[in-house]
Structure 1
Amino acid sequence: MADLPIAAVICGFVGAVLFAVSAVAQQRAASDVPEGDALLARLIRDPRWWASLVGDAGGFAFQIAALALGSVLVVQPILVSALVFALPLAAHYSGRRVSRSMWAQAVALSAALAVFLIVGDPTEGHSYASWHRWVLPLAMMFGLIAIGVAVAGAVRVPTLRALLLGTAAGLLFGISAALTQHVIELFGHGLGAVFTSWQTYTMAACGMVGLYLQQRGYQVGPLSASLPAFTVAEPLGAAFLGMTVLDERLRSGPLGTAFVAVAVIVMCVEAVRLSRAQAAEV
């Protein structure tokens, strides 16, 4: 851990705070739109939604700065900490309180994040990989996303729909994050390199579709149903691509890797438990 990029960690946490504030504002705006109405058409007329996009832009700027200073495996899991900031804000504006069990689950998520960073001690990989290395990992992720969206459209339980849509959106943002560092570097080779690269269009498409699914998740269910799934799926998706495509690695050894695997399981389980706890209160 001696060479953990502290500046990247700080930028990541600042981005997480901005994303948390934006998520609360977006959920409040999206939840006011009846399901039968055109979601985006209503949102673009809501000042709260535009204000939240400013916060998102700030969070994304800090995320880009963090990715320029550290690896995907370091930066993306830090976004899980957005839950700790978002849950009390959401509770305040909805008139509910954050129960002790929900606080415990949010803290467990953060603790699992700390284990991932401290024990896993991720290395930096490459920002670029040839397209054929991306094909299978991306196909697997797009398949999971398509299944999640299809199931969300078939079920009628609001919290489950929000969880599935949040997961799908998080995976799309994870793909976008894994491509961001390379796209940033392309600007050093001129705009021609940027606009002729498949990574640029894939990053943008994943970001836009992910944003729409994120808003849909906010519309159909409470923040504590969609946001935990989103904040866990994004770093896990980015980490999967970082390890399978960009040659990022954990320096934890066999025993440490087992602890990291447990930490990942804890993050996933606690995200689901947070959603179920919210469902029990609705």
Structure 2
Amino acid sequence: MISVVFALLAAASNALASVLQRHAARAAPEEEAFRLALIMDLVRRPDWLGGIVALMFGFLFQAAALTTGELSLVQPILVTELPITMLLLAGLFRIRLGTESWRAVAALTVGLAALLASAAPSPGHRHPDRIEWAVATLVTLGLAAYLVSVAKVTRGASRAALLGVASGLGFAFTAALMKEATKVLPAGPVALLTSWAVWAMVAAGLGSLFLLQNALHSGTLVAVQPALNVSDPVSSIAYGVGLFGEEIRLGGWVVLELLGVGLLLYGSRLLAQSPPVRDEPQVNPPGPESETRLGH
């Protein structure tokens, strides 16, 4: 139960980070895409730095969740980041949430519940060796490189979605490395700082963060969040099963699992089609007289 609480706190922190980072990234020049100049520009913006602080808290909460829970349980709970993001947008920009938006939240909630209840992830008892980590790294890098290469020749929402998927894959792999790193925590800080998993986690996390900044720079927040929040848990379940031997129910349960994933996709798509969120309000929140209604 404690892992679920920490995972929800991580989702809330990540949602706040996404809103603040998108707030900053939307103002960066388009020619800075895929360049370190984008980060140099963003680091001078207080809202982006606030997003990094929120992201750090999310990282700590996620590490605490993974210390006490399975990868295939913790990561899917982070899907709640999307409706939390929507609620934050509504609060910051004084947007009233309509029926369509609440239907999207309901679909996301039911989809997550169906996925977790049907999969019923259980702890793994296998410790991946270096060869398995090397294979997982190559597969992850290959998929991410392909997504980025396609994103570079597209624009707008398509680029944002592709980079959202790539960053979701990267964050899932980062979480897998984090799970590996937590195993050396009892050995003390020296063992932790000399662990290859810690430094690989840092590298994967920074790479994923760079992809996320480019995704947020390329399109609206709700174009990025559905892609990120669906690819992350699905990839994490794959890493949990493939690397750590975590078990999920198969057989007839697969139908309910696919239904859960389908509801997550439906809810994300429905939310992305809500015009006021899709079009994003101006940076300065409107006054009560210009209050917008989200959904129909």
TM-score, normalisation: structure 2? 0.84
- 1:69 equivalenced with 2:68 (yes/no): yes
* Superposition deviation, residue 204 in structure 1: 1.3
* 8 A contact 2:10–2:61 mirrored in 1: yes
TM-score, normalisation: structure 1? 0.88
Matched residue, 2:167: 169
Alignment partner for residue 264 of structure 1, among 261, 264, 267?
Answer: 261
Matched residue, 1:184: 182
Distance 1:276 1:151 in 2: 23
Alignment partner for residue 223 of structure 2, among 202, 225, 236?
Answer: 225
Distance 2:218 2:237 in 1: 28
**Structure 1 residues 220-279: Cα deviation after superposition (integer angstroms, max 9, x where no partner):** 1111010121122122222111111110011x3522232112212332454345445559
Distance 1:279 1:133 in 2: 45
CA-atom RMSD in angstroms: 2.3
- 1:152 equivalenced with 2:147 (yes/no): no
* Equivalences, count: 275
* Superposition deviation, residue 175 in structure 1: 0.2
- 1:11 equivalenced with 2:6 (yes/no): yes
Pick closer, same or farther for the CA change 1:95–1:41 going to 2, 3 Å: farther
Pick closer, same or farther for the CA change 1:66–1:85 going to 2, 3 Å: same
Distance 2:276 2:97 in 1: 13
**Structure 1 residues 76-117: Cα deviation after superposition (integer angstroms, max 9, x where no partner):** 000000111101322454576555334323321221111122
Higher relative contact order, structure no. (Cα contacts within 8 Å, ≥ 6 residues apart): 2
Pick closer, same or farther for the CA change 1:98–1:150 going to 2, 3 Å: farther
Instruction: Report percent identity of matched pairs.
Output: 31
Pick closer, same or farther for the CA change 1:237–1:281 going to 2, 3 Å: closer
Pick closer, same or farther for the CA change 1:167–1:176 going to 2, 3 Å: same
- 1:25 equivalenced with 2:24 (yes/no): no
* 8 A contact 1:229–1:272 mirrored in 2: no
Matches within 5 A, 1:103-182: 103-126=102-125, 128-156=127-155, 158-182=156-180
Matched residue, 2:30: 35
